[in-house]
Amino acid sequence: MTPIPTVSVDGVPDPLPEHLSVLDVREQVEWAHGHVEGAVHVPLMELPQRLADLPEGQTLVVCRVGGRSAQAVGYLVQQGYDAVNLDGGMLDWAAAGRPMVSETGQPPRVV
């Protein structure tokens, strides 16, 4: 079994470089409460049907703690994508004070 390419939040440049896209594979309610600005939202279960929605180039894949995003990265790498999992997910992202946006009208948070 091939290891999943993984990076911790400390290994992600701040601000994000132009060539790095963010793919959030959480459910809609999680996304609405807080996500990385500019991220593409494709829930994990929709990923196989929505590959055309993915950005070109290297993709940082995120979920709440890193489990679903690891599954997504494993799948994407098999499909030929340059994808890397964010270990610790959005919980570590928020804990590191990295910027997030919300669609709820409330301050962004990870749910």
Residues catalogued as catalytic: 63
34, exposed or middle or buried, with CB in 10 Å at 0-12, 13-18, 19+? buried
| Residue 105 to residue 10: CA distance in whole angstroms | 29
Q: Which residues pair with 111 in a beta bridge?
A: none
> In this structure, are residues 62 and 70 in contact, taking their beta carbons and an 8 Å threshold?
no
